[in-house]
């Protein structure tokens, strides 16, 4: 009886928030990609929002009451290999259609963010820089600087891409400066010599100036691709965080300021697993507060996207950008991996998501060392010039085609077996990307503005939903006036439609509205999804508008711990508000070894903001992971 009454209460509250009739029958377009790759971003039959909601579970709520980061774009890298294949191997009569399929959002997937290696990377035909001189020579004045290499293939294609999509943004990243600047005298290995810090800063500035003169402005620069990895068979170098801080603060930023370029710096440019690197660089207040620093660049090969949330919370005025995320033969399920990673990145404050090579050939090349197992967005047959889209093209397209530059991510939850990310575009269209992360077909409902639709997704398949509707009066103006995650106080609760989540439905820990200290990570429990981890004493997560109805008597919690264990506390209103439940966190023997714990709950009625707080009597770290909780 209690469950029925609470679910009925949810439906009534949704109906009370309903507006006038026209939006009740709102039509929604749907595009689907299935895990077996037999359906690839294919349009499906229209579905319709209707008034109210039902007791069906799972439920995805979409709410414009909380806005997060603005989105700058999705894309890949215009490497030497990609440009060579497109410009010299694709027949000239076919190139326009190929470029349209990549960069036009009506006839293609609308790529809007590109990365450009500054000189050779591993996806290049040979090693080169913009200042190659005879061995044993140096050029501190950069007299021999030239971007002539890029004028053959790369720049013509970048100009064409910008013509198709003028909103494209570009980040330039060096794999290595010229060898004469380094300890090895070579583009392979070593590190930058302090005596050439000034020359290196000039090298970056000259690149940005030359590209702007060529009609391709550079929006961002990073100082070094993967500064914590020194490859032995392709260009690269070591650049410790303390060195990057010195080079950036004392050399690069002054040189950029003197040049009057608008180009900004993204620090780090490496994996999620070492957030201490950008923290070290940004610990310098002058850098963290500089208008010349745009944010942090990340790669996806190790760690969790939740690291970006940690950096955002430390430096909320700086952006988080995924600048490299290659697909390849080592990935068992590219559909699942991409949907999970891109959704996770968007839910972790990512402003851009950039795959690796834009194009590779039938042998996953050409490449000078490095990755021989990577995949591009398209494959170009060097023998025939024929072009084929890879699965990466479609998984990225579920976002790049529909989420426009200037969009903002709005709040949506994850549900058992279903992951989501939702967006409000500048043209007022809404976009929801939902992914079935479970091994079975899932039927779920989407609730938006007191209206709902029901949809069924095959196992491990993803869909993009898009619809247009006017904004509630006052809602957008208010939302855009509030930077960051807009905290809804009581006076503002009716500015936009407010969702209400039933306490007796399973609430995924990753569906938080706000967190302190914690990070989300991929979860291997039943139905997949993301759990909350990286716990320490006092860390908390917040869940707004949880409806406890006339009261609850106990709570079930899904937990895992390979640490010391501890307790999980449920508070109302704040992390130190009234305590309604206290759950022991057992040591389960693994961070992904899950168990369900039940504990008494009391003192909660009506609609409340709920805080979940980690506590420990011992060490402050390694308490446990949280997947979901459910009151009854």
566: left (phi over 0), alpha (psi -120 to 50) or beta: left
Question: Which contiguous run of DSSP H or E holds residue 534?
Answer: none
Are 361 and 407 spatial neighbours (Cβ–Cβ below 8 Å)? no
Strands 590-600 and 530-533, bridge-based pairing: unpaired
Angle between helices 391-400 and 334-347 (to 10 degrees): 30
Say how far apart CA 94 and CA 400 lie, in whole Å. Answer: 23
Catalytic residue among 64, 72, 226, 237: 226
CA 255 and chain centroid, separation: 31
Say how far apart CA 248 and CA 255 lie, in whole Å. Answer: 10
The question of whether 334 is a catalytic residue gets the answer no
Are 404 and 497 spatial neighbours (Cβ–Cβ below 8 Å)? no
Are 571 and 581 spatial neighbours (Cβ–Cβ below 8 Å)? no
The question of whether 569 is a catalytic residue gets the answer no
Number of Cβ within a 10 Å radius of residue 494: 14
Catalytic residue among 64, 72, 237, 324: 324
Say how far apart CA 520 and CA 497 lie, in whole Å. Answer: 27
Give strand ranges (E) for 358-498: 359-361, 374-375, 378-380, 387-389, 408-412, 418-424, 429-436, 442-448, 451-457, 462-468
Q: Does the N-terminal peptide bond of residue 58 adopt cis geometry, omega within 30 degrees of 0?
A: yes
SS3 content of the chain, % helix, strand, coil (to 5): 25, 30, 45
Are 535 and 625 spatial neighbours (Cβ–Cβ below 8 Å)? yes
Q: Looking at the annotation, which residues are catalytic?
A: 226, 324
């Amino acid at each position: 009886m209690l469950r029925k009454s609470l679910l009925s209460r949810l439906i009534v509250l949704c109906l009370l928030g309903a507006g006038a009739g026209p939006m009740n029958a709102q039509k929604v377009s749907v595009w689907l990609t299935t895990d077996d790759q037999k359906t690839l971003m294919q349009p499906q039959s229209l579905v319709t929002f209707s008034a109210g909601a039902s007791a069906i579970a799972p439920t995805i709520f979409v709410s414009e009451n909380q806005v997060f980061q603005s989105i700058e774009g999705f894309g890949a890298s215009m490497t030497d290999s990609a440009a060579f294949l497109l410009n010299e191997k694709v027949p000239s009569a076919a190139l326009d259609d190929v470029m349209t399929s990549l960069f036009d959002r009506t006839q293609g997937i609308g790529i809007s963010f590109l990365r450009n290696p500054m000189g050779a990377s591993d996806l290049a035909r040979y090693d080169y820089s913009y200042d190659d001189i005879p061995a044993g020579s140096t050029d501190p004045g950069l007299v021999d600087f030239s971007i002539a290499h890029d004028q053959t293939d790369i720049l013509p294609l970048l100009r064409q891409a910008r013509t198709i999509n003028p909103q494209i943004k570009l980040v330039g990243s060096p794999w290595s400066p010229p060898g004469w600047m380094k300890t090895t005298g070579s583009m392979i290995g070593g590190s930058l010599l302090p005596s050439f810090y000034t020359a290196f800063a000039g090298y970056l500035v000259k690149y940005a100036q030359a590209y702007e003169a060529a009609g391709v402005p550079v929006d961002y620069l990073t100082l070094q691709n993967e500064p914590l990895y020194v490859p032995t068979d392709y260009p690269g170098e070591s650049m410790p965080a303390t060195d990057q801080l010195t080079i950036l603060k004392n050399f690069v930023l002054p040189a950029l300021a003197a040049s009057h370029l608008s180009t900004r710096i993204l620090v780090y440019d490496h994996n999620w697993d070492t957030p201490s690197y950008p923290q070290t660089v940004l610990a310098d207040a002058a850098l963290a507060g500089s208008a010349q620093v745009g944010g942090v660049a990340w790669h996806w090969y190790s760690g969790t996207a939740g690291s970006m949330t940690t950096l955002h919370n430390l430096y909320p005025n700086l952006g988080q950008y995924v600048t490299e995320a290659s697909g390849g033969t080592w990935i068992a399920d590219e559909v699942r991996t991409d949907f999970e990673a891109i959704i996770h990145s968007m839910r972790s404050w990512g402003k851009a998501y950039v795959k690796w090579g834009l194009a590779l050939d039938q042998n996953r090349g050409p490449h000078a060392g490095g990755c021989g197992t990577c995949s591009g967005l398209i494959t170009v047959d060097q023998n025939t010039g024929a072009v084929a889209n890879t699965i990466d093209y479609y998984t990225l397209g579920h976002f790049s085609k529909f989420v426009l530059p200037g969009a903002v991510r709005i709040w949506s939850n994850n549900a058992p077996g279903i992951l989501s990310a939702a967006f409000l575009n500048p043209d007022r269209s809404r976009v929801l990307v939902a992914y079935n992360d479970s091994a079975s077909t899932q039927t779920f409902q989407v609730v938006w503005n007191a209206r709902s639709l029901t949809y069924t997704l095959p196992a491990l398949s993803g869909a993009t939903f898009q619809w247009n509707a006017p904004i509630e009066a006052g809602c957008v103006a208010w939302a855009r006036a509030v930077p960051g995650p807009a905290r809804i106080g009581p006076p503002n609760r009716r500015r936009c439609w407010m969702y209400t989540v039933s306490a007796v439905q399973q609430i995924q820990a990753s569906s938080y509205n706000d967190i302190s200290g914690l990070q989300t990570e991929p979860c291997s429990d039943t139905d997949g999804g993301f759990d909350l981890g990286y716990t320490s004493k006092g860390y908390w997560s917040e869940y707004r508008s949880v409806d406890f109805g006339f009261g609850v008597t106990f709570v079930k919690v899904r937990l895992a711990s390979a640490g010391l264990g501890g307790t999980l506390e449920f508070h109302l209103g704040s992390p130190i508000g009234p305590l309604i439940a206290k759950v022991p966190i057992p040591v389960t023997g693994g961070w992904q070894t899950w168990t369900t714990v039940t504990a008494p709950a009391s003192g909660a009625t009506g609609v409340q903001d709920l805080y979940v707080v980690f506590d420990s009597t011992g060490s402050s770290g390694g308490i446990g992971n949280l997947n979901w909780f459910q009151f009854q």
